[in-house]
Amino acid sequence: MNHWPSARDWLFSLKAFVAAMLALYLAMAAGLPRPYWAMSAVYIVSHPLTGATRSKALYRVLGTLLGATAAIAFVPLFDDAPVLLSAVVALWTGSLLYISLLHRTPRSYVFMLAAYTLPLIALPAVDQPQAVFDIAVARSEEIMLGIICASVVGAIVFPGRIAPVIHARTQAWLRDAAAWAADTLAPGSAAQHPGTRHRLASDILALDQLISQLSYDPETADMVRHARELRARMSMLLPVLSSLTAVLGTLRGQGHAMPHDLEQLTGEIAGWVRTMSADAGAAQRFRERLERGDAPAGDALDWGGALAANARWRLGALVDLWLDCLTLHARLAGEASGEPWAPAYRRREISRGARHLDYGMTLFSAFSASLATFCGCLVWIATGWADGGAAVTLGAIASCFFAAQDEPAPMVLSFAVWTAVCIVVAAIYLFAILPLSHGFVTLAMLLAVPFLLAGTLIAQPRFNMIAMLLTVNTATFIGLQGAYQADFTAFLNGNLAGVAGVLVALGWTLLTRPFGTELALRRLVHASWRDLADTAAGHAVTDHARLTARMLDRLGQLIPRLAASGNDTVTDGFKELRVGFSTLELQREELDLSGTTRDAIQAVLDALADYYRRCLAERTHRAPQADLQHRIDAAIARTVTRRSAAARIALNALVELRVALLPTATPLRVPNAPGAAGGG
């Protein structure tokens, strides 16, 4: 793989450097007290994609103003009570960080920035509270100047649009999904490696950030809507493909004769999926053949027939979802006709608003950062360290930056190491190179080489944090102003205090957050079990769309942690999703059934709720008891010959439950119950 910067990386770096020099020049010309803040702000908000730069710029302005306003309000109020001021700063930092961690959208940047802007402005002003207003106004002006320069240069000079990036990402995703589908459907194929499925789930979460920034591009509202609809259908593809993989594997692996027409049809659908062609005519023909292949209502099915019926049901959903995905993908590329888009998949409403939120761990992370800030302030007060404010500020920033990580300590350590590197680079520049400058042009030329090189790395995700630290911290540590000022003692004391603060934050993190990925993984699995128990018990079925969205979102959070932990013995990430969808379908259709059929399904739901409650009580996964299998089998026997559409949907859900929960159980022998075909 080629790791050298591409032409696009160099172009972005040049644009960022031009914007930074423009901001620095204007700040110096305007006589602002800290022009380097304007330069740093450019590198903080700059992004290769113009829409991302605009959104980040807007949120940074709002966060800065919010934090600055808090500093102006709190510092004069508590200037005679340093411990109380420390408590207020810590409480503010933790509270705003908590809100930021709950958002999980680009808007969270507003609250993250506000969380550490207060200590950034307030702590240096504790000795001169009357100056806090001037400091806050100056920081706001300098940051807004940098933001304006970054936004203008980014929008004028070869702007980068988000829509083509989303199109390319979704194309790669659909190609991987096509490989999984084709391998599942093609007769005699090997099962797709679980890593491919896990990557598909993780990549959907990565798309969320891009889609949320699409509205800041000069795109139409239809483009944003199509991107959101595509993301929703990509999410629904995952459980459908997982179900098909399991059902077809069971049908082929338990000695059942695969119906010839179904075997032929799965092969043809596999070929159609591989072509990546949004052929609505082919999709319609597949639907008609799937409907013709269904057993006539009232005909008794054996277990193999029930599996085949379930496979046809899932194949219909796959065809509709795949057609929708390809059609929406084409519209993102501007290849659409003038007709409004009409979805083919309408079987389950998909909500975009619901997310899985772990309030407990989020509160703990925010409280940890808040307490670290407060303890740092107390140590500063007790020691009377002149540069202690810098230590507390950078420690608070490090605590906020990595609060969302399951294992923040390695990231905080990297932050400390690269901050120390920035001090060395800044010292070389401040005391050896900058004295050679005799004007702004020569200053820009002297800064060009390191900042252009570091700028190429900002656009590369694996180097983004390092490059951001190199550019932002180096510019800040040098402290460029209108006239050359260099005091080695002040430089060393202030900047080493910052590194000390980050190292204290590292020690605090190791002490208070030693849990690692395993804890987050267990909490996600337990949250899934809790949802399944509540859903089966009928406590959480009022909004199926939101529950569906929350389960899909939880899958996206679960998969990267499964990969990181290497622990796939508890779940593969998809089983709970399939059980959840089947449970929702049973809850929805149960009301349309009558008599013994409804009672049998209710018995399954009761046993399912008890099973997941036992798993929660014992805090570990356990094999389903024989009672659950007997109830599922009895319910299948009741629904297998019913005439109504509700009964067929319930049958498919029951088959899915049996395959998901009891994959190694002996094949079910469905009794041919005379007269059972009468009612719903």
Nearest-10 crossing angle of helices 260-275, 280-293: 160
Q: What is the mean pLDDT of residues 49-60?
A: 90
Type of residue numbered 213 = Q
Q: Which two tokens stand for residue 639?
A: 């629904």
Type of residue numbered 167 = H
pLDDT at 98: 97
Residues 68 and 73: their CA atoms lie apart, in Å, by 9
Nearest to 401, CA basis, from 472, 459, 453, 496: 472
**Residues whose CB is less than 8 angstroms from the CB of residue 126 and which lie 6 or more positions away in sequence, other chains included:** 75, 79, 82, 85, 389
Listed in sequence order, the DSSP H helices in 386-515 are 388-401, 408-428, 440-458, 464-478, 488-512
Percent of the chain residues topping a pLDDT of 90? 53
pLDDT at 667: 73
Buried b (16+ CB within 10 A) or exposed e, 317-341: bbbbbbbbbbbbbebbeeebeeeee
Residues 101 and 464: their CA atoms lie apart, in Å, by 20
Residue 635 in contact with residue 562, Cβ under 8 Å?
A: no
pLDDT at 673: 43
pLDDT at 347: 64
Residues 494 and 477: their CA atoms lie apart, in Å, by 9
From residue 214, give the alpha-carbon distance in Å to each of 161, 208, 231. Answer: 8, 10, 13
Residue 415 in contact with residue 469, Cβ under 8 Å?
A: yes
Instruction: Count the Cβ atoms, other than its own, within 10 Å of residue 3.
Output: 7
Listed in sequence order, the DSSP H helices in 157-259 are 162-185, 194-214, 221-253
From residue 173, give the alpha-carbon distance in Å to each of 161, 165, 249. Answer: 19, 12, 24
From residue 388, give the alpha-carbon distance in Å to each of 12, 397, 425, 497, 553. Answer: 37, 14, 23, 6, 42
pLDDT at 36: 94
pTM for the full predicted model: 0.89
Beta strand spans in 541-662 (E): none
**Residues whose CB is less than 8 angstroms from the CB of residue 657 and which lie 6 or more positions away in sequence, other chains included:** 579, 582, 583, 604, 608, 632
- The answer to whether residue 298 scores a pLDDT higher than 50 is no
Residues 194 and 180: their CA atoms lie apart, in Å, by 10
**How do residues 354-370 score in pLDDT, each as one tens digit?**
788 999 999 999 999 99
- The answer to whether residue 671 scores a pLDDT higher than 60 is no
**How do residues 427-437 score in pLDDT, each as one tens digit?**
999 999 999 88
C-alpha 266, offset from chain centre: 33
Residue 680 in contact with residue 642, Cβ under 8 Å?
A: yes
Q: What is the mean pLDDT of residues 30-46?
A: 94
Which of the two residues, 46 and 594, has the higher pLDDT score?
46
Residues 236 and 679: their CA atoms lie apart, in Å, by 32
Q: Which two tokens stand for residue 537?
A: 């018990």
Q: Which of 178-182, 337-341, 609-613, 626-630 has the lowest mean pLDDT?
A: 337-341
Instruction: Count the Cβ atoms, other than its own, within 10 Å of residue 68.
Output: 25
Type of residue numbered 264 = Q
* Residue the block writes with tokens 């500020």: 393
Residue 330 in contact with residue 253, Cβ under 8 Å?
A: no
pLDDT at 557: 87
Under the banding of pLDDT at 50, 70 and 90, the label for residue 297 is very low
Highest mean pLDDT among 140-149, 163-172, 563-572, 583-592: 140-149
Nearest to 271, CA basis, from 182, 379, 165: 182
Residues 266 and 290: their CA atoms lie apart, in Å, by 10
Mean pLDDT of the chain: 87
Domains of the chain from N-terminus onward:
7-160+358-512 (no CATH), 162-333 (1.20.120.940), 517-661 (no CATH)
Residue 275 in contact with residue 325, Cβ under 8 Å?
A: no
**Residues whose CB is less than 8 angstroms from the CB of residue 626 and which lie 6 or more positions away in sequence, other chains included:** none
Under the banding of pLDDT at 50, 70 and 90, the label for residue 480 is confident
Length of the chain: 680
